Structure formats: structure tokens, C-alpha cells
């Protein structure tokens, strides 16, 4: 829902996200989720595109994190079963988790896909 007046500010049930224009009343701006600073609907379109990119990046990172964690667990369990002792210390495992997270985040492109 978009609006610029006081009558638009008191309707939170009218839409999931409320958008106010730059010359709206103060109460409409405060009750809205987004305030457009440019004229026209281009700001709404840009907001949706950026929001979808962020959502895709978060989804890709989450799925990648789950898969990589599962692979590490399988590796450690198999190594323990085969050797009878832990092959990776706790400190090394934590270091591996942190380093792989940073590498994963740096290899995401702008569309949120893993390269």
C-alpha cells in the first residue's frame, strides 16, 4: 500500500508493506516501512529487485552452510570410525568453520549464486 496522508497511516492491515512518498505527512512516514525519496514507481521496483537479491544471497549461503557442515560431520565420523581417534582437534575444527565461511561469503556473486 502506498500513501501520502493521515488517512493512510492508520491502516496497517491494508498491506504487508507500507510505502510513503517523500512529501507525505509525518505520521504516514513513521507508520510506513519505506519512504520513497524519488518521484515515480522506480524506487519501488529497485527496492523489490534489491530485496530479492538479498534474499537469494541469504538462501544460497544458508543452503551452502548446511551442506558444508554435513560434509564435515561425515568426514569426522568416518575418520573416527576408521582410526579410532579424532583426526581434527577442536581448535582446528573451529578455525576450519570460520575460514570456510569467509571463503563462501567472498565467492557469492551479485545474484547470490555460488561461483
* Residue 9 scores a pLDDT above 80: no
Helices (H), the chain: 6-9, 26-31, 42-83, 90-106
- 30-80 confidence digits (pLDDT tens): 777 778 777 777 788 888 898 898 898 889 888 888 888 888 889 888 988
Closest by Cα among 32, 8, 36 to 22:
36
Question: DSSP letter at 113?
Answer: -
- 53-62 confidence digits (pLDDT tens): 889 888 988 8
Question: DSSP letter at 106?
Answer: H
* pLDDT for position 107: 62
Task: Give the Cα separation of 115 and 112 in Å (integer).
Answer: 9
Question: DSSP letter at 89?
Answer: -
Task: Give the Cα separation of 14 and 96 in Å (integer).
Answer: 48
Task: Give the Cα separation of 27 and 31 in Å (integer).
Answer: 6
pTM: 0.58
Report the chain's mean pLDDT, rounded to a whole number.
75
**Higher-scoring residue by pLDDT: 83, 10:** 83
Grade residue 14 by pLDDT with cuts at 50, 70 and 90: low
Task: Give the Cα separation of 9 and 5 in Å (integer).
Answer: 7
Amino acid at each position: 500500500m502506498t500513501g501520502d496522508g493521515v488517512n493512510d497511516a492508520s491502516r496497517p492491515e491494508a498491506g504487508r508493506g507500507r510505502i510513503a512518498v517523500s512529501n507525505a505527512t509525518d505520521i504516514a512516514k513513521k507508520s510506513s516501512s519505506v519512504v520513497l525519496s524519488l518521484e515515480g514507481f522506480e524506487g519501488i521496483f529497485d527496492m523489490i529487485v534489491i530485496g530479492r537479491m538479498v534474499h537469494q544471497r541469504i538462501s544460497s549461503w544458508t543452503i551452502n552452510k548446511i551442506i558444508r557442515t554435513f560434509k564435515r560431520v561425515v568426514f569426522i565420523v568416518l575418520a573416527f570410525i576408521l582410526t579410532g581417534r579424532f583426526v581434527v582437534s577442536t581448535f582446528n575444527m573451529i578455525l576450519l568453520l570460520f575460514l570456510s565461511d569467509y571463503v563462501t561469503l567472498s565467492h557469492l556473486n551479485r545474484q547470490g549464486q555460488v561461483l
